[in-house]
């Protein structure tokens, strides 16, 4: 067992540290190991505490404890008792102060009836309007015979109300008890009265429901003397105590309570009567360490110590995590902003941090893990603005090439009977080249000027191109809209990272949004500037790629016609496929017959070639210009300047106050975070001190 490595003083030090954490209210943030005493009403829980501590606890039939009682037992040379109240953290601060002021220090054992009555009065338990409380009565008992142990006694469970406790009270008590039992580091001491069938007692059902494997539950059987000797009920409870029925990882224990006849007996008399009863009859079948109050205290102490040691590292990790969370909140809230200089300093820091994070997002430098996080999550990816922009523009380029043409022109079947028609896709208008050329011939007739046959009016290229690039406007618009949405999301995330409360919304509304509106307006103007020439002007390019592309297309078409001529020429077609002599005149005539005689078709084919070549040149320019001149120059590179520290220094005092003055909720949040941080840091120091102390003892 781990307890063998710790001295008794170390037991006490470790328990004191955990109790100190609990006393400071750390349980609101950190789950602490503890033994909770649970049972149905009148199951004998108070008698169990009395047997362990030797102190007389108030008992009353048919009425359970109205609040949780924390019993802290420590071994010491002298007997002393300290009684205090731990208020529910949700109470108003003034009420918490009032409850904490109720303290008693005694050096003689006492009947706690008077203390409990006082506690009920202070908690406001009048039985009519409020029957139970979530406050805690804390009793610290030190004495030479006490074990090192801390227990939390919870109100007893009951099903139906009466004149002193309502059905609503029953629900409240069950909710309170389940709240303690649900904590994964709580040890459940389930008290079962032998007076009743254990299967009908709520505590066993709840324990098995909330601790499904029974790893952290210890069963305690009370009032075994009420069972008829030799009865089936007695045998059933013996089997239960042997862990043969309801199995609990921590086993079972048997305790004989004071009966009514021994209500005024001393602790020694009570212990003697218990020992005599459990040393005879069927109870002798159990191990000695399962019987009586004398062994229960040390047993519980060892169980608790082992449980604390098991979770000590996890508790420290929880505390450190809580400290990190507090520091994050305080960094976000900044220093107090009571004065104008405080407010200006705070805004300057917000502007500096905003500009830094935005520049990092723009540059694709994602080393600030606290903001950018893990790229595998969608939230973190959306904060990586450069990655989002690059991905969006890459998709834009693909969409422009795939969907940018109003009509896709495909060539008819080639000589090898393989179709060159591209795979038909939804939303794309397909047309064969021959049909398209026929349309162009008709269009050229309507645009004739003084050109010679076989040539064309150059403005026909502009008209064909305008029709072909119609989808560009919508594709560009969709790309820009997506990037603007991504930018707004990053802006919001950064603002929430570097500022807090109403200041975040004020900066967004009064500074960021107006500047963003100007940037977007300039961006839209640049988009119009880039696209308008393609819709209203005439084609302009000085890129040799235009003529190179046209020449290559015409060369390929000519080569195809020559190949077709050669395949069908009489000059080279022989039965035995052996050519002894080529008639070059005949071969020339075969090639010449494939020369296009329709001058309008020649002009139309050439016009289509030039339009398609110009489309490719213009497409590349538009794609690059949207990325470089629109997205990058008009928007992305200007984002870090939306809110900078220099902006704050030029603000009027009234503007600074309007942006950075603190609301009540910010002040309260900072106060809560500072209080929590102070308590957690104290706890961490105590835990680390014990770790060094315990390590020194174990060497």
User: Cα(494)–Cα(383) distance, rounded to whole angstroms?
Assistant: 9
Strand partners, 73: 141, 149
| pLDDT at res. 411 | 83
Report d(CA 100, CA 594) in Å as an integer: 108
Length of the chain: 699
Question: DSSP letters of 181-243?
Answer: HHSTTEEEEEEEETTS-GGG-HHHHHHHHHSTT-TTEEEEEE-GGGSPTT-HHHHHHHHHHTT
State phi, psi for 469 to the nearest 5 degrees.
Answer: -95, 15
Q: Where are the beta strands (DSSP E) in 59-208?
A: 68-75, 80-86, 103-106, 136-143, 149-153, 186-193
Cα–Cα distance between 331 and 202 in angstroms, integer? 48
Helix (H) or strand (E) holding 408: strand 407-410
Q: Mean pLDDT per 10-residue run, the chain (699 residues)?
A: 48 79 79 87 81 71 67 80 82 83 70 72 69 81 81 80 68 84 89 84 85 89 90 91 89 86 77 88 91 89 88 88 88 79 89 95 91 89 95 96 90 53 61 87 80 76 89 96 96 91 89 95 95 87 84 80 68 52 61 63 85 91 95 96 90 88 79 87 82 50
The whole-angstrom separation of Cα 212 and Cα 181 is 12
pLDDT at 596: 59
Structure tokens at 430: 């397909």
Is 283 in contact with 229 (CB distance < 8 Å)? no
Q: What is the pLDDT of residue 418?
A: 42
Residue-level pLDDT at 593: 58
Residue showing tokens 């029925």:
245
Evaluate whether 152 touches 65 at the Cβ level (below 8 Å). Answer: no
Note the pLDDT tens digit of each residue in 487-499: 999 999 999 998 8
Cα angle, residue 440 at apex, residues 397 and 536 outer, rounded to 5° = 55
Please report the pLDDT score of residue 1 as a whole number.
38
Residue bearing tokens 């603000």: 651
Give residue 530's pLDDT: 94
Q: Which helix (DSSP H) or strand (DSSP E) does residue 680 occupy?
A: helix 664-698
Taking a C-beta distance cutoff of 8 angstroms, is the pair 498, 647 a contact? no
Q: 8 with 311: CB under 8 angstroms?
A: no
Q: What is the pLDDT of residue 393?
A: 96
Q: Where are the domains of the chain?
A: 31-291, 324-338+662-697, 342-413+427-568+583-660
CB 190 within 8 A of CB 203: yes
Integer Rg of the chain from CA? 44
User: What pLDDT was estimated at residue 61?
Assistant: 47
The predicted structure's pLDDT at residue 3:
39
**Which is nearest to 178 in space by CA: 206, 150, 158?**
206
Name the nearest CA neighbour of 358 among 645, 650, 638, 646. 638
Residue with tokens 């409380």: 133
- pLDDT for position 124: 77
Query: The tokens of 511 are what?
Result: 């500074």
Q: Which residues pair with 189 in a beta bridge?
A: 37, 218
Q: How far apart are CA 528 and CA 542, in angstroms?
A: 22
Q: What is the pLDDT of residues 25-60, one digit of tens each?
A: 777 888 888 888 988 888 888 778 888 887 776 665
pLDDT of residue 438: 86
**How far out from the chain centre does Cα 515 lie?**
32
- Model pLDDT, residue 491: 97
Architecture of domain 31-291: 3-Layer(aba) Sandwich (3.40)
pTM: 0.58
The CA distance from 36 to 185, in Å, is 11
Cα–Cα–Cα angle for 90, 91, 97, rounded to 5 degrees: 130
Please state, in angstroms and rounded to a whole number, the distance separating the CA atoms of residues 699 and 5: 10
Is 545 in contact with 619 (CB distance < 8 Å)?
A: no
The pLDDT of residue 413: 56
């Amino acid at each position: 067992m781990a307890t063998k490595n710790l001295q008794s003083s170390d037991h006490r030090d470790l328990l004191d540290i955990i109790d100190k954490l609990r006393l400071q209210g750390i349980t609101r943030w950190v789950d602490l190991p503890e033994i909770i005493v649970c049972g149905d009403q009148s199951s004998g829980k108070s008698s169990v505490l009395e047997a362990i501590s030797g102190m007389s606890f108030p008992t009353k039939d048919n009425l359970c404890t109205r609040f949780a009682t924390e019993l802290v037992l420590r071994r010491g040379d002298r007997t002393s008792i300290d009684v205090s109240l731990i208020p529910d953290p949700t109470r108003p601060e003034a009420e918490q102060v009032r409850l904490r002021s109720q303290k008693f220090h005694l050096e003689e054992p006492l009947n706690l009836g008077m203390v409990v009555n006082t506690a009920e009065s202070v908690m406001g338990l009048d039985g009519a309007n409020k029957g139970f409380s979530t406050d805690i009565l804390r009793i610290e008992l030190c004495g030479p015979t006490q074990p090192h142990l801390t227990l939390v006694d919870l109100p007893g469970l009951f099903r139906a109300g009466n004149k002193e406790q309502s059905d609503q009270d029953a629900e409240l008590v069950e909710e309170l008890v389940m709240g303690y039992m649900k904590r994964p580091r709580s040890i459940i001491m389930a008290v079962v009265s032998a007076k009743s069938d254990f299967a009908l007692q709520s505590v066993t059902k709840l324990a098995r429901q909330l601790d499904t494997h029974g790893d952290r539950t210890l069963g305690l059987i009370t009032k075994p003397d009420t069972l008829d000797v030799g009865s089936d009920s007695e045998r059933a409870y013996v089997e239960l105590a042997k862990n043969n029925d309801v199995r609990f990882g921590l086993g079972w224990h048997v305790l004989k309570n004071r009966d009514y006849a021994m209500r005024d007996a001393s602790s020694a008399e009570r212990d003697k009567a218990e020992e005599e009863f459990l040393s005879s009859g069927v109870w002798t079948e159990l191990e000695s360490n399962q019987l009586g109050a004398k062994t229960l205290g040390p047993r519980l102490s060892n169980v608790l110590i082992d449980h604390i040691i098991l979770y000590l590292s996890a508790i420290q990790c929880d505390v450190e995590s809580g400290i990190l969370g507090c520091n994050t909140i305080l960094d976000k809230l900044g220093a107090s902003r009571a004065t104008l200089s405080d407010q200006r300093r705070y805004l300057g820091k917000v502007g500096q941090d905003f500009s830094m994070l935005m520049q990092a997002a723009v540059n694709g430098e994602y080393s600030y893990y606290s903001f950018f996080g893990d790229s595998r999550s969608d939230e973190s990816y959306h904060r990586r603005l450069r990655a989002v922009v690059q991905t969006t523009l890459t998709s834009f380029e693909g969409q422009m090439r795939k969907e940018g043409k109003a009509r896709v022109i495909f060539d008819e079947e080639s000589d090898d009977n393989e179709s060159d028609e591209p795979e038909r896709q939804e939303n794309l208008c397909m047309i064969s080249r021959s049909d398209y050329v026929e349309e162009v011939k008709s269009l050229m007739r309507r645009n004739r000027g003084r050109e010679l046959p076989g040539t064309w009016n150059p403005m026909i290229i502009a008209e064909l191109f305008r029709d072909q690039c119609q989808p560009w406007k919508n594709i560009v618009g969709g790309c820009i809209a997506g990037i603007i949405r991504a930018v707004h999301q990053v802006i919001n995330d950064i603002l929430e990272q570097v500022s807090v409360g109403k200041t975040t919304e004020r900066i967004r509304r009064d500074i960021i949004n107006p500047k963003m509106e100007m940037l977007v307006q300039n961006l839209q103007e640049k988009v119009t500037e880039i696209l308008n020439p393609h819709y209203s002007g005439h084609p302009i390019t000085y890129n040799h790629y235009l003529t190179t592309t046209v020449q290559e297309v015409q060369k390929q078409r000519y080569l195809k016609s020559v190949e077709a001529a050669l395949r069908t020429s009489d000059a080279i077609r022989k039965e035995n496929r052996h050519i002894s002599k080529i008639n070059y005149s005949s071969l020339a005539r075969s090639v010449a017959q494939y020369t296009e005689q329709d001058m309008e078709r020649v002009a139309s084919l050439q016009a289509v070639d030039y339009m398609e070549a110009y489309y490719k040149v213009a497409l590349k320019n538009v794609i690059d210009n949207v990325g470089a001149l629109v997205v990058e120059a008009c928007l992305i590179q200007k984002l870090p300047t939306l809110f900078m520290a220099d902006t704050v220094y030029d603000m009027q005092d009234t503007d600074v106050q309007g942006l950075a003055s603190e609301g009540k909720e910010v002040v309260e949040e900072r106060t809560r975070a500072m209080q929590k941080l102070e308590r957690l840091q104290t706890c961490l120091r105590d835990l680390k001190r014990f770790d060094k102390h315990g390590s020194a003892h174990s060497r």
